[in-house]
C-alpha cells in the first residue's frame, strides 16, 4: 500500500487521474477540470505521473502542437481503486461517522 500511496499521494494526482478515466484529455481540459490547480503544479504532477508510467503523453506533429494525456495500462489498473474510493466517499458523506465505525469494526 505504501508504494501505491507514494505514486498517487498529494492533493492533485487523484483529481487529475479521475479526469483521465474518461479517456484522453488535452492539458487545457485537465486544467479547466480541476479547480484551484495552477499551471505550474499541473505540469509538475503530470510529469511525475508520466515518470511513474501511470499516464502517457502523446505529442501530435501539428501546428500548433497538440498534446494529449491518457492512462497507461498501469493507470487503467487503478480504475477499480477509483471506483472503490468513490463508493466509500459517497457512503461517508451520507453516513458520516457510522462508516468510519463500520470500517474499524470490520478491521478488528
Residue 22 belongs to domain spanning: 2-77
Q: What is the pLDDT along the chain (108 residues), one digit of tens a residue?
A: 888 888 888 889 999 999 999 899 999 999 999 999 999 999 999 999 999 999 999 999 999 889 999 999 999 999 888 888 888 888 888 876 655 566 566 665
Q: Taking the model in full, what pTM does it have?
A: 0.79
Is 92 part of any domain? no
Residue 42 grid coordinates: 499541473
Is 90 part of any domain? no
Is 104 part of any domain? no
Q: How far apart are CA 67 and CA 70, in angstroms?
A: 10
Kindly report the CATH number assigned to the domain that includes residue 14: 1.10.10.10
Amino acid at each position: 500500500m505504501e508504494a501505491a500511496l507514494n505514486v498517487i499521494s498529494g492533493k492533485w494526482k487523484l483529481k487529475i487521474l479521475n479526469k483521465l478515466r474518461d479517456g484522453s484529455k488535452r492539458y487545457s481540459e485537465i486544467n479547466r477540470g480541476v479547480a484551484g490547480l495552477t499551471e505550474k503544479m499541473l505540469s509538475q504532477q503530470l510529469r511525475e505521473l508520466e515518470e511513474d508510467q501511470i499516464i502517457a503523453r502523446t505529442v501530435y506533429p501539428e501546428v500548433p502542437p497538440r498534446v494529449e494525456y491518457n492512462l497507461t495500462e498501469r493507470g487503467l489498473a487503478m480504475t477499480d481503486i477509483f471506483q472503490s474510493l468513490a463508493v466509500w466517499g459517497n457512503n461517508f458523506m451520507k453516513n458520516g461517522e457510522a462508516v468510519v465505525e463500520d470500517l474499524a469494526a470490520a478491521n478488528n
